[in-house]
Amino acid sequence: MFFSLQKIWHPRRPHSTMRGGLIFTITFMVALHVAWGCPESCLCQTSSKIVDCSSRGLLEIPSYIPSQTQILYLQGNQIRIINHTAFTNLPGLKILDLSNNSISIVSPNAFHSLRSLQILNFTNNIILYLENQVFVSLMDLKELDLSLNRLFALPESLGNSTRNLTFLGVKQNQLQRIDRSLLESFMNLKVLLVQGNPWHCNCHAIGLKLWLENFLYKGGTIDELICSTPENRKGNDLLAIPFEMYKGCPPISSPYLMANIHHHNAEHRSNGRHHLDQADGIVHPECEPKPKPRPVSLRHAIATVVITGVVCGIVCLMMLAAAVYGCAYAAIMARYHRELKEVEHLAPAGEHGSAEEREPLDRSLA
């Protein structure tokens, strides 16, 4: 390197040649620093490809992070904005921790270059809103934690590109609802954490309720989804609200909801669910309410029980009558034979008459 600089600044070289050589050398040195250097406020581990910039009082993402970095820790700082160039030089990054900062703004293209990212931690920031395309490039993302922020809604396209997501945390935000269509796009989701949001458990929540039941049935893990509104459901877990509580909602037309209702009516009748929403005079298909229960089935069940009881009672009475008759007949016959033997024992044999003479008496008794 020193030899090259000598050649560049040799007095016999033309001025243009020296300037071109200088630019090339500076560019090369900058590129070398970017590839192998380490930000002053960070700790870099070249062998494990880890860069630790946690709790350093940083106000922004450091420049010149080594391009081969795979794990980047930025938690515990005072970073406020994630701009679109923050991670452009880190194509191999797999784990990014941005928790415990003051992040409120995330550029829509902030993660455009992080196509290998697998874990993204955004917990304990002050994010109010995320653009739809902010996660669009994260095809390999498996864990996303947005807990302890101020989100009122999740990006509508969140599930379009993050189909490999297995963990989603949205605890302690300001979420009132999550669309069932968004949750259905997470084909590989295993853990969903939703506790601590002001959930609105109106008719629209039936879609979420049925999805959660199906998610649990398939072995998924969730925490509590506690309702904040309406008042008559405040403090209740959405999954524990009986199906009958939604009987005033519009009728269900969605095949998905109908299939789930039939499934849960058969296996979890006490926890059955139903639901749909009506806003601004428009009835949303996924929020249509359940039809009223059919009392005919209940009457049939009661009638069956009554008829069965009557038949059993009649049979028992007939058996009791037969038993009484048998006992009475046996007692009469025993008494008759006893008296007959006493008469035969006391009277002479000739006075009794022949067997033929006694036969009419036997017949009459029989």
Q: Output the pLDDT for position 37.
A: 76
Q: 171 burial class (0-12, 13-18, 19+ CB within 10 angstroms)?
A: middle
Q: Is 242 a residue whose pLDDT tops 70?
A: yes
Q: Output the pLDDT for position 102.
A: 97
- pLDDT, tens digit, 9 for 90 and up, residues 186-225: 999 999 999 999 999 998 898 899 999 999 999 999 999 9
Check if the beta carbon of residue 93 is closer than 8 Å to that of residue 51.
Answer: no
Distance CA(201)–CA(204), nearest Å, equals: 7
Q: Output the pLDDT for position 348.
A: 58
Confidence band for 1, pLDDT divided at 50, 70 and 90: very low
Q: Output the pLDDT for position 359.
A: 52
Considering only residues 263 and 55, tell me which one the structure prediction assigns the higher pLDDT.
55
Q: Is 6 a residue whose pLDDT tops 50?
A: no
- pLDDT, tens digit, 9 for 90 and up, residues 33-89: 444 579 988 999 999 999 999 999 999 999 889 999 999 999 999 999 999 999 999
Q: Output the pLDDT for position 285.
A: 44
Task: Phi first, then psi: give them for residue 326, nearest 5 degrees.
Answer: -65, -40
- pLDDT, tens digit, 9 for 90 and up, residues 324-356: 888 888 888 888 888 888 787 776 554 545 555
**Averaged confidence pLDDT in the chain:** 79
Strand partners, 51: 44, 72
